[in-house]
Structure 1
């Protein structure tokens, strides 16, 4: 694993790199309040076959936030990500995104289809706000603010304990990730990402539905979804089926039993196996279709 900084229009973007330039390039996009090392375990296992870059997205990890709320819109953020991609690779890439990162990957694919070979969406980009009209934008942003306000802990060990309970397992890689999520404040630790950043991203997720861009997506899509909590399973099944119907035959969906929203941390072996198999299938298909007759 190698750490680097890339300057994009005055913003220093922190990126971690694994693997060889000889292999297909994969960009890794983390979820809201997380950071690039959320993909540490996945990248470590894929680095013999792929050239991987995990990006600290704006306002997360060691990448500073945007100055304006509007820059977190998918309209702007996809253009920003294309500039990052251009710095890292002169060829089309594969994308793996979790949660917000999955939604970003899908929006990017809809706008820059010629630069995308395929997208893996880890439990994100398919559950849509319009399916629950009872949640208003104002109420949603209030919930987001409360989430950040309540994310204060007296020690980093206290936060570690919470994450261990949420994930159900622990590793050195998860510990590294968790420490990069937090910052020291008076009396303890708090989320590194600001309330303004979280609300700006929440607003874009609410107002810019992934469903609105399904018809523009041409790259193959692989959704790996959660199955817990059980009372949300009917909605998850319906949403995944609807996405698959709208995207067509190039969309695959797989559910991992007994997993929640952070399934790639809860069941890394199974998640990595599914991702590796799908990526290798797509690489082989691309080689086959480009081979001379």
Structure 2
């Protein structure tokens, strides 16, 4: 594995690169409060015949954390990704996104060609205007909370939300690793990520799903009812789609059962199979 930082469109973007020169290429985009390291255990189960990029998104990990939240918008982040892929001369790759990273992956795939799209516990945003305004307001309040109360207080709040209840089944050691990754974040980076790229401010992609002709695979956890239902709704609109609901896991499948998630991703890429 190589840990690399490059300057793209005026910011430093950090990523980890594995198995350089392998024929099949995959890009991984993490969720809110995560980093490229969120994929570490999962990657250890993947075949070395796959070349991988795990990227720290803006405001997270070792990537830049600009003070201006406008630099975090989906339009800016899609432009960053595209410039990075051009810099690396990457094309014809599979794009995998988890939660927030899935929203970005879908946004990217709606503008640029990718070989496959794998969305883990993700959504196209909010279609209802009132719901978007309410979510924007709550994200603004959460951003203020991060800046006013500090990261440890926010992390304790965040890990206790219902979305992550299933992670209570994990070992204490694994839960501590997840907590440490969140605590390694940046207050301004996370606050601006919410303000610039929260679900309430990003454009809704529901009406554009029919245009995404890329083979798309929706992966959700059985214990994550909200996102399983969202995937079923998305399946009605995406023209080239499969959905797999995975037993005994919640929102973060790649964390809760990394070995199984690796098997599923390999089956998709090497066999085009999501059974």
Question: Given the two structures, how large is their TM-score scaled by the length of structure 1?
Answer: 0.77
Aligned equivalent of 1:290:
none
State the 1:29 CA deviation. 0.3
Q: Aligned pair 1:179/2:180, yes or no?
A: yes
Aligned equivalent of 1:243:
234
Helix, strand or coil: the match of 1:121? Answer: strand
- Between structure 1 and structure 2, the one with the greater Rg is 1
Aligned equivalent of 1:267:
257
Mapped to 2, the partners of 1:243 and 1:16 lie a distance apart of: 31
Mapped to 1, the partners of 2:214 and 2:87 lie a distance apart of: 21
State the 1:201 CA deviation. 1.7
Mapped to 1, the partners of 2:136 and 2:165 lie a distance apart of: 32
Deviations 1:134-174 (A, max 9, x none): 961443224533663566438x9x89x97998353359887
State the 1:13 CA deviation. 1.1
| 1:140-179 superposed matches below 5 A | 140-145=138-143, 148=146, 152-153=151-152, 166=167, 168-170=169-171, 178-179=179-180
* 2:121–2:228 CA contact under 8 A, matched in 1: no
Point out where structure 2 has 5 or more consecutive residues left out of the alignment.
none
* 1:61–1:181 CA contact under 8 A, matched in 2: no
State the 1:92 CA deviation. 1.8
Question: Given the two structures, how large is their TM-score scaled by the length of structure 2?
Answer: 0.82
* 1:26–1:96 CA contact under 8 A, matched in 2: yes
Mapped to 2, the partners of 1:151 and 1:275 lie a distance apart of: 36
Q: Aligned pair 1:21/2:18, yes or no?
A: no
Mapped to 2, the partners of 1:164 and 1:138 lie a distance apart of: 24
Aligned equivalent of 1:196:
192
Aligned equivalent of 1:216:
211
Aligned equivalent of 1:130:
128
